[in-house]
Structure 1
Amino acid sequence: MMSTLSTWKSYMRTKLLKQSALSSFIFCTSALVHDAFAEDTNKEEIPAESTEIEQDSNLKWGGSLSLGYDSNLYSASDYRSSRAISFHGSLHLAFWEHYSLYSNTGGYRTLQNAEGFYSTDTVVGLSRSSLLTFGDTGRMSISGQFSIPTSQASQDSFLNTAFRIQTPFTFKLADVGFLIAPRVRKNFHQYTTSPSGNVNISWGLSLLLGANYNYGDAFFSVSALGGTSINYNGRWADGYSYGGNVSAGYNFLEDLSISLTLASSGVYTDAAQGTLGSFNLFDEAKATYSLGMTYSF
């Protein structure tokens, strides 16, 4: 998250927008059922995984803390009901012009069924903003980050670490900021096969798209993340997984905001694999509704 840095941030009124949306996306991405995409999302990455840092000569370090309540709105007595409290924390350090170090981590606590606390992987990375410029507002940045396997899922698959590189492009049209960010992730597992017998994912390829708009202290954003993967046997995933969210919020204090977010995910199977899957932008069964609060410092 922090991976796209100041390029995307320049189109937002404050640092709060993306972190607010992130608290909901943390839980939504855990619902992805396809290995092709799940490992690349890493429950951080959101549009929002990536908190951008505004390169200010007076700003050397900062961060944010987010807390969210996530639910799929099914009745608590329904076996499909899913509720959780999610949280996320991030730190960044601008140590040289256009260069920043960042780290972020998070987790969630389920409130029913298999109740318990689950952490997400921790990310540490370096970003270089404004690598290239184009037009009046266009910029290209680059970032690279390592994952520390602090989540149970990564530990169960014996993941040692993962490296992801991202090259985001940002631009602005009619007061709307846009983001296009291709990503490549390389996993490093201790074993090529997981304890369940499945071949682990070696490479992940994904694309993050986003747009945001600010009106006074109110903000609106939409993002989508999709991708596929290659396992250690060199086999491509049978389909493409995707997830996305729509968020609206309000900055009621200088460093404090609230947001309401709708997130969903799905899997599309290529016809070449024998079955043409449905591409549903909204799947009620997988939708997550989140109320989040973010404090930035």
Structure 2
Amino acid sequence: MQIKKINVSVLSGFIACTLAIKQPVLANETYDIKGESTSWGGSLSLGYDSNFFQESDYRSNRALSFHGSLYLSFWDSYSLYANSGGYRTLQHAEGYYSTDTVIGLSRSSLFTFGESGKVGMSGQFSIPTSEFSQDNHLNTAFRIQTPLSFTLLDIDMTVAPRIRKNFHQYTTSPSGTVNISWGLSLLLVANYSYDDAFFFASALGGTSINYNGRWADGYSYGGSLGAGYKLLENLSISLTFASSGVYTDAAQGTLGSFDIFDEAKATYSLGMTYSF
């Protein structure tokens, strides 16, 4: 259970560091904004992730996390990208843990609309380098998303529907639960810059279907809110607050619960990102 809590904290930090980099969509889907036929780049992020409990509290979880991404842009709007990361827990089961590695291909603009709107598409495979995926015998996963991006009142907005298909060696996990076969989600992102300062917010919600064809009883959701500052041309710092939860429909026999801030699940992350 402690590992699961740390995972939530660190992944929230990874999302925050990714959004902190000023790109049209996400850092792992960087596009050739200079109009060059071929270009490459990437980013390295280091973060300190924690929940809001005191260090003396048994519920306290803290970790150091890092994340790296690379991209290669070619033709007019295509990019190959890869990213991975890991974290070291500082409490309880101290040790190093890696996250899954992602390799994908994206196209930033299938078509455009209005003055700033465009619709893109990306597809990516996951390599099960994390302990969680390996324990559940995940062979790989494939995810497609179609981000719709536009600018409204100087705020860069992105709405990205996603669908993911998992490929496990077994339909059940070692604990006896049925593994997830399909995942459906919607990502909302907002970025705003003022001189060297930047602000960002994100929300992600979705549901899943297991290998028996059963839908999840509720909808999982998460969100982050943060701000950062560009120290140098390629170096920035950020502070992010994040939380997550599960919404259970009243039709399942309970009243719906949607907590914006849940102390037991809320985390914060101090991050530094170097882009190149």
Q: TM-score, normalised by structure 2?
A: 0.91
1:206 aligns with 2:206: no
Q: What is aligned with 1:23?
A: none
Deviation beyond 3 Å, 4+ runs, structure 1: 41-50
Contact 1:83 1:111 in 2 (8 A): yes
Deviations 1:44-73 (A, max 9, x none): 667649314241217611000000001113
Q: What is aligned with 1:75?
A: 54
Q: Distance in 1 between matches of 2:154 and 2:5?
A: 28
Letter in 1 for 2:57: D
Q: Distance in 2 between matches of 1:81 and 1:250?
A: 28
Residues 28, 291 of structure 1: alpha-carbon distance in 2 compared, 3 angstrom cutoff: farther
Q: What is aligned with 1:50?
A: 26
Query: Which sits farther off after the overlay, 101-110 or 51-60?
Result: 51-60
Deviations 1:110-131 (A, max 9, x none): 1001111111000000001111
Contact 2:38 2:75 in 1 (8 A): no
Q: What is aligned with 2:264?
A: 285
Deviations 1:4-46 (A, max 9, x none): xxxxxxxxxxxxxxxxxxxxxxx989339xxxxxxxx899667
Contact 2:119 2:146 in 1 (8 A): yes
1:155 aligns with 2:155: no
Question: In angstroms, what is the RMSD of aligned CA positions?
Answer: 2.0
Name the SS of the counterpart of 1:31 in structure 2: helix
Letter in 2 for 1:119: S
Name the SS of the counterpart of 2:8 in structure 1: coil
Letter in 1 for 2:225: V
Contact 1:120 1:150 in 2 (8 A): yes
Residues 90, 165 of structure 1: alpha-carbon distance in 2 compared, 3 angstrom cutoff: same
Q: What is aligned with 1:31?
A: 8
Given candidates 210, 229, 242, the residue that maps to 1:250 is 229
Query: Which sits farther off after the overlay, 277-286 or 140-149?
Result: 277-286
1:99 aligns with 2:41: no
Q: Distance in 2 between matches of 1:45 and 1:143?
A: 18
1:95 Cα deviation after fit: 2.4
Deviations 1:86-109 (A, max 9, x none): 110000001222111000001111
Gaps of 5+ in 1: 1-26, 33-40
Contact 2:180 2:210 in 1 (8 A): yes
Q: Distance in 2 between matches of 1:261 and 1:90?
A: 20
Contact 1:164 1:184 in 2 (8 A): yes
Q: Distance in 2 between matches of 1:172 and 1:28?
A: 35
Contact 1:206 1:227 in 2 (8 A): yes
Q: Distance in 2 between matches of 1:173 and 1:134?
A: 13
Q: TM-score, normalised by structure 1?
A: 0.84
Residues 126, 163 of structure 1: alpha-carbon distance in 2 compared, 3 angstrom cutoff: same
Q: Distance in 1 between matches of 2:5 and 2:37?
A: 36
Which structure features the higher share of strand residues?
A: 2
Given candidates 92, 100, 110, the residue that maps to 1:113 is 92
Contact 1:268 1:276 in 2 (8 A): no
1:172-191 aligned at under 5 Å gives the runs 172-191=151-170
Deviations 1:124-159 (A, max 9, x none): 000011111111111000000000000000001100
Q: Comparing both chains, which one has the higher relative contact order based on Cα–Cα distances under 8 Å and sequence gaps of 6 or more?
A: 1
Q: Distance in 2 between matches of 1:275 and 1:169?
A: 35
Contact 2:13 2:269 in 1 (8 A): no
Contact 2:31 2:78 in 1 (8 A): no
